[in-house]
C-alpha cells in the first residue's frame, strides 16, 4: 500500500505591510473595530509588479530546502490560487519553469479559500495511485489586486502570501483522510462578479472586485466547518481528543474560535496567524502550517486537522499525521 506524507513546508509574505491604522486613513473604520470583529492587525501586500508566481516560487524554494530535496525530484506541481498571473498558462506551469523542472505534471486548482485543501487531497490521490512519487503543493494569492480599497467591509480582511508543502510517497500513513465539498447555490454570497466569459470589459478596466455578504458567510462557515470536522473523524474512527493541532483557514478569529469550540479544542492547540496576514485565501492554511512547524509548536508524529471554507461555496478537510 502506498501512502503519502508531508516532507517539508515553506511560506512567504510580501515585504509591504498595511496595518489597521493605515486603513483608518482611507476608509471609515478603526483598528479596534477590525480587531474585535476579525482578529486581524495587519496584512501583507504584494509590491507593484510582484505576482502570485513570485510569491509561490519563494514559498516553494523554502519548502524544498526544508524537505532536503531539489526541484528536479518533483514530478507533480499543483498550485491553488484564485489570482493567477495569467488567464493561461497556469501559474503551476509558470512556477515549474521558474524551478527549472520541465516535464512533470503541473496544473492549477481554483476552490478559493479551500483551494489548498483541495490541492493537497488531489496530490495525495496521485501519489496513492502510484503514478507520482513527490508533489509540490502550493497555495498562493495576490488578493490585493481584486479588492476595492474603498469598501471597508472587504478591504480590511484580505492580504497576499504563499505557502507550500512537499508531499512524498511513504510506507506509512501520513495523510489519513480528506473530504471535499461544494455547493454553487450560494455563489452570490461571496464572489467576484466578473470574469473572462462574463463581464470581461469590466475586468480589464479593473472593476472586478470581491463582493461579500459577511453575516451570511459567517453563519454558513461556522455550521459547515463543524460538520466537516465530524465527518472526517467519523470516517477514521478517531476522537476529537486525538487531534493535536487544528489548522483552520485564517479568515476570521470568530469563525476560528467557533470551530475550535465545536471540536472541543483549546485555543492553545489551534494555529492562529490571521492577526499577522489577514485572509490570504488558498495561502492561509499552508502559511499557518509552516509558521507552526518552524516555531516548534508542531512536531513530527502529531495529528493535524486542516479545514477550510470559501467562495463557491467550497469546504473541505484534511486529517494527517505529521
Q: Which residues are catalytic?
A: 113, 249, 279
Q: Following CA atoms 20, 25, 29, 32 in sequence, which dihedral angle do they give, to the nearest 10 degrees?
A: 40
For the chain, give the longest Cα–Cα distance. 58
In 3D space, the residue among 122, 167, 121, 114 whose CA is nearest the CA of residue 139 turns out to be 114
User: Distance between CA atoms of 276 and 43, rounded to whole angstroms?
Assistant: 6
The secondary structure of 136-167 as a DSSP string is: EEEEEEEGGGG--TT-HHHHTTB-EEEEEEEE
Q: Residues for the chain: how many in total? A: 322
Give dist(CA 120, CA 6) in Å, integer: 10
Q: Which residues are CB-contacts of 133 (< 8 A; sequence separation ≥ 6)?
A: 75, 127, 168, 169
- Return the bridge partners of 212, or none: 190
Q: Which three cell numbers stand for residue 308?
A: 477550510
Q: What is the DSSP string of 239-276?
A: -GGG-SEEEE--S-HHHHHHHHHHHT--GGGB---HHH
- Closest C-alpha among 144, 142, 123, 145 to residue 134: 123
**CA dist 192 → 23, 27, 92, 198, 254 (Å):** 22, 21, 22, 11, 24
Residues 6+ apart with CB under 8 A from 268: none
CB atoms within 10 A of CB 143: 27
Residue linked to cell 481584486: 146
Amino acid at each position: 500500500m502506498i501512502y503519502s506524507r508531508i516532507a517539508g513546508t515553506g511560506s512567504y509574505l510580501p515585504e509591504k505591510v498595511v496595518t489597521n491604522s493605515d486603513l483608518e486613513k482611507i476608509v471609515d473604520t478603526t483598528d479596534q473595530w477590525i480587531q474585535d470583529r476579525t482578529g486581524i492587525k495587519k496584512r501583507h501586500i504584494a509590491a507593484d509588479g510582484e505576482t502570485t508566481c513570485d510569491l509561490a516560487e519563494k514559498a516553494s524554494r523554502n519548502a524544498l530546502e526544508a524537505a532536503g530535496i531539489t526541484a528536479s525530484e518533483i514530478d507533480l506541481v499543483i498550485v491553488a490560487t484564485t489570482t493567477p498571473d495569467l488567464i493561461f498558462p497556469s501559474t503551476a506551469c509558470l512556477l515549474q519553469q521558474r524551478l527549472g523542472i520541465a516535464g512533470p505534471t503541473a496544473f492549477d486548482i481554483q476552490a478559493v479559500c479551500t483551494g489548498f485543501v483541495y490541492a493537497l487531497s488531489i496530490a495525495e490521490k496521485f501519489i496513492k495511485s502510484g503514478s507520482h512519487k513527490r508533489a509540490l503543493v502550493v497555495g498562493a494569492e495576490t488578493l490585493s489586486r481584486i479588492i476595492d480599497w474603498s469598501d471597508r467591509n472587504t478591504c480590511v480582511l484580505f492580504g497576499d502570501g504563499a505557502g507550500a508543502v512537499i508531499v512524498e510517497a511513504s510506507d506509512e500513513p501520513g495523510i489519513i483522510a480528506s473530504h471535499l465539498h461544494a455547493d454553487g447555490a450560494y455563489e452570490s454570497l461571496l464572489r467576484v462578479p466578473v470574469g473572462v466569459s462574463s463581464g470581461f470589459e469590466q475586468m480589464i478596466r479593473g472593476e472586478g472586485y470581491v463582493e461579500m455578504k459577511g453575516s451570511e458567510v459567517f453563519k454558513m462557515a461556522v455550521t459547515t466547518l463543524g460538520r466537516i470536522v465530524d465527518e472526517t473523524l467519523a470516517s477514521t474512527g478517531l476522537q476529537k481528543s486525538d487531534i493535536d493541532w487544528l489548522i483552520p483557514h485564517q479568515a476570521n478569529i470568530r469563525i476560528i474560535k467557533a470551530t475550535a469550540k465545536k471540536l472541543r479544542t483549546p485555543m492553545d492547540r489551534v494555529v492562529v496567524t490571521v492577526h499577522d496576514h489577514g485572509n490570504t485565501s488558498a495561502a492561509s492554511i499552508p502559511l499557518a502550517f509552516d509558521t507552526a512547524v518552524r516555531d516548534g509548536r508542531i512536531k513530527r508524529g502529531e495529528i493535524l486537522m486542516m479545514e477550510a471554507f470559501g467562495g463557491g461555496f467550497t469546504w473541505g478537510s484534511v486529517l494527517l499525521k505529521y
